[in-house]
Amino acid sequence: MGGVTSSVAAKFAFFPPSPSSYRLITDELTGLLLMNPFPHRENVEILKLSTRRGTEIVSMYVRHPMATSTLLYSHGNAADLGQMYELFIELSIHLKVNLMGYDYSGYGQSTGKPSEHHTYADIEAAYKCLEETYGAKQEDVILYGQSVGSGPTLDLAARLPRLKAVVLHSPILSGLRVMYPVKKTYWFDIYKNIDKIPLVNCPVLVIHGTCDEVVDCSHGKQLWELSKEKYEPLWLEGGNHCDLEHYPEYIKHLKKFITTVERSLSSRMSTCQSESDLEMPRQSVDRREKPRKSVDRREKEKPPKGPSKKSKLRITFEQHLDRSRRSIDFHDKARKSVDHHQNNHQIERGRKSVDRLDRVRSE
């Protein structure tokens, strides 16, 4: 039963346009890869990327001269890059971001067959290209997942702790929950977004149409409730599954979100810089203290040469006291000897006087 249900979920999740809405050609003069029937643009690059699962996917990179953020866009289940091309150009212009879109394995001109685990490898290849080819940092990247694209988006977002932000456009709780209102997650389910959203550590914007007939709006609302860093959601009244970008509120709210997270990141960076500046004097003081410690260490290691100044003073003072005591004793002895001599002399004189009186009386 599980295998059958999983197969049904997979069939729902993957419905690539057939035939593909574009084909790839190589310009004879420049050697650049082009996407026909679209004209070449100086700020658009078409690439082929190899994945860890052995497939080769097609991606497009749109550069904006004023961009400070890069949007990595994972499209829906029934679209390819040819159908998304113009929207990607418009989003880059209005949001002032660099943008990378890609086709899943088995979509457009990408090789292989579509599967859940292929899409995980596909988005990893696209993200790796942003880092290695275009120098994007994790803090600069905003992951954008539409419909089934919310699966690879949240899978990657849960593994990138310093990500700038995540946008979920008509997202799904899981593949099985789109078809059946199950209350728990089964092992054979695909795109278990309900279990991954709590692991995302950056601001999350959810956009969903209230009249979505493919993925009920309750999916978006529950994912928003489970988010750690909730941003004001956009519930488009009357919006369906594939028409949200036509609403004026869509681009307006998206632009506000990106501006907010960019400002928030700038303020955090400036705060960190201020704290770093405050720490620098302490570090320099610590550096000056280190030689003092080494001197103390050398002094400890040196054998004692003799008594210190304090001990010398103490000895001198004790010697002085001793001499004073001796002097006092000497004077005391002298005084005693004098007193003893005087007393003896007085007694002797007294005796002689008495003897004279006795003699006078006898005469």
Active site residues: 147, 212, 241
Q: How far is the C-alpha of 219 from the C-alpha of 171, rounded, in Å?
A: 7
Q: Are 10 and 116 in contact, with CB atoms under 8 Å apart? A: yes
Query: What secondary structure letter does DSSP report for 303?
Result: P
CB neighbour list of residue 28: distance below 8 Å, 6 or more residues apart:
none
Query: What secondary structure letter does DSSP report for 140?
Result: G
Q: How far is the C-alpha of 259 from the C-alpha of 326, rounded, in Å?
A: 93
Q: How far is the C-alpha of 290 from the C-alpha of 361, rounded, in Å?
A: 102
Question: Helix axis angle, 81-95 relative to 248-301, nearest 10°?
Answer: 70
> How far is the CA of 104 from the CAs of 120, 122, 298, in angstroms?
9, 6, 67
Which among 110, 109, 149 is positioned nearest to 13, based on CA atoms? 149
Six-digit token string for 193: 């977004």
CB neighbour list of residue 202: distance below 8 Å, 6 or more residues apart:
157, 163, 164, 165, 166, 229, 261
Q: How many CB atoms lie within 10 A of CB 352?
A: 10
Six-digit token string for 346: 């007085």
Q: What is the DSSP string of 73-127?
A: EE--TT--HHHHHHHHHHHHHHHT-EEEEEPPTTSTT--S---HHHHHHHHHHHH
Six-digit token string for 361: 């009386």
Task: Please report, as a single letter, which amino acid is at residue 128.
Answer: K
Measured over the CA atoms of residue 173, residue 52, residue 143 and residue 162, the dihedral's sign is: positive
Q: How far is the C-alpha of 205 from the C-alpha of 229, rounded, in Å?
A: 9
CB neighbour list of residue 37: distance below 8 Å, 6 or more residues apart:
22
